[in-house]
């Protein structure tokens, strides 16, 4: 396998700020995202099931460079490049997530969508890092890129020491592809 691409969704290709505001208004969360003092009055599971509910995906906006990045990936030979959407959104919304990506122009045939198991209480960092480790060590790609807005996930991926290029956003992903694959072709 020549190339593997992992792409996060929330905060990486879409802005979920409006969904965050909505669940905050409904009292499912108190405190800023990333704050150590953040609280979930009805439990974290209830927060996640409301924040990641399929009926509010449409509130997100598509972030800059997301479509450009996907357009570049669309032009790769599917035999030489596998693209994985890797999200902590619940698997019960798998089809709704795929449909939302398609509606945004961010989906093409051959992509794969990996969602967190339903009602999983494993930490997102453990879930995502284990998936990445398993796929990369099995496939041994010549080039691997992970696009992830969460710094702790980027750091944990680098710590795997599997020669994975890790970037924060789609602009950096476009630059990485241009410098590592397209210019080298």
How high does pLDDT run on average in the chain? 93
Domains of the chain by residue range: 3-15+62-182, 17-57
Task: List, for residues 86-96, the tens digit of each pLDDT value.
Answer: 999 999 999 99
Task: List, for residues 41-78, the tens digit of each pLDDT value.
Answer: 999 889 988 999 999 999 999 999 999 999 999 998 87
141 has pLDDT over 70? yes
| Across 86-110, average pLDDT | 96
b/e map 93-130, b = 16+ CB within 10 Å: bbeebbebbeebebbeeebebbbbeeebeeebeebbbe
Strands 112-116 and 143-147, sheet pairing: unpaired
Instruction: Categorize the per-residue pLDDT at 123 as very low, low, confident or very high, splitting at 50, 70 and 90.
Output: confident
The CA radius of gyration of the chain, in Å to the nearest whole number, is 16
Minimal CA–CA distance to 83: which of 99, 101, 65?
101
**Confidence at residue 183, expressed as pLDDT on a 0 to 100 scale:** 54
**Which overall architecture, per CATH, does domain 3-15+62-182 show?**
3-Layer(aba) Sandwich (3.40)
Give the integer Cα–Cα distance in Å for 148 and 8: 5
């Amino acid at each position: 396998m020549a190339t593997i691409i992992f792409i996060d969704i929330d905060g990486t290709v879409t802005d979920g700020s409006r969904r965050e505001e909505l669940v905050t208004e409904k009292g499912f969360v108190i405190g800023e995202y990333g704050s150590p003092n953040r609280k979930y009055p009805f439990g974290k599971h209830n927060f996640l099931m409301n924040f990641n509910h399929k009926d509010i995906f449409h509130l997100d906006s598509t972030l800059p460079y997301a479509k450009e990045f996907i357009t570049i990936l669309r032009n790769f030979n599917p035999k030489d490049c596998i693209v994985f959407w890797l999200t902590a959104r619940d698997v019960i919304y798998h089809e709704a997530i795929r449909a939302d990506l398609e509606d945004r122009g961010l989906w093409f045939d051959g992509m794969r969508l990996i969602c967190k198991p339903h009602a999983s209480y494993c930490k997102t960092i453990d879930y995502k890092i284990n998936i990445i480790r398993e796929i990369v060590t099995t496939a041994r790609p010549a080039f691997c890129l992970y696009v992830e807005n969460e710094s702790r996930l980027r750091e944990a991926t680098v710590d795997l020491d599997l020669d994975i290029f890790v970037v924060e956003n789609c602009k950096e992903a476009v630059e990485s592809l241009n410098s590592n694959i397209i210019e080298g072709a």
